[in-house]
Structure formats: C-alpha cells, structure tokens
Amino acid sequence: MQRLIYISSTRSPLTTAELDAILIASRRNNAAVGVTGLLVAGGRRFLQALEGPEAAVETVFNRIKADPRHHAVVILSRTTIDTPTFGQWAMGFNRGGTGGGDAITLPETVATLVEPITDPTVRGYFEGFAQVHAAA
C-alpha cells in the first residue's frame, strides 16, 4: 500500500461549484479503485494525500497531473504504508480560505480533520498548509 502527498496550484481560481464537482468526481473515482485520502484547498493551492494500492494511487495521481486546471504539481512524500491513515474516506475534504464571521478557521478545521492521524509527518503537512493559507 502506498501514500502519496502532493501540493499543486490551480491555473485560475475555482468556483464553489467547480470545487464541489472535483470532490464528487474524486470520491467516486477513488472509491472505485480503493484509494482513500484527504484534500485541503487553500486559495488556489491544493494539498492532497492519496492512499491505496500502488498502481491505483499512481493512476489517480497521473489523472490529477494531466488535469489542465492543475500546474506546479510537486510530490512532497511517497511512502509505503501498512495501514491506511484515512480509513474509509474516499476523499475527506476541506475548502479553506473562506473565513468571515463565526466561521471556524482553516487551521481549526484541519486540526479536527487530522486529530485521529498518528503519523506526525502527515499531520505536519496538513497543519503547516493550514497555517500558511490562513495567514494569506
């Protein structure tokens, strides 16, 4: 089993409807091939972890890299794992950077999402991403 964590940028800002469509398609496609993970969007940046059978993770990642909405795709970590971190999440998701009023901040939301994760590296990637994008 493999875990791949990457960061990327969108070529242009995505609307809420576009983000929702990406999430729906990701959940459907990932579940079909046994890939789980977490996606956090902060402004025009995405941080995503994908976990599952190596061939399936590579297929999903290659599809992401080929998506014309993405550029500057950088692999942060590629690790062989014994146990999945994200359970049955076909794709956990948080849309960051919406802020305002009584809204929970991106760092607070991400902290809740990663609370059950015991791997300090995985937690660090997501918590660091949230801190940077909350300050932007």
In this prediction, residue 115 carries a pLDDT of 84
* The pLDDT value given to residue 91: 53
**Residue 24 predicted with pLDDT over 90:** no
Residue 15 scores a pLDDT above 50: yes
Q: What is the pLDDT of residues 38-96, one digit of tens each?
A: 888 877 888 999 999 999 999 999 999 998 988 899 999 999 999 888 776 555 554 44
Share of the chain above pLDDT 90, in %: 34
> Do 40 and 46 contact (CB within 8 A), yes or no?
yes
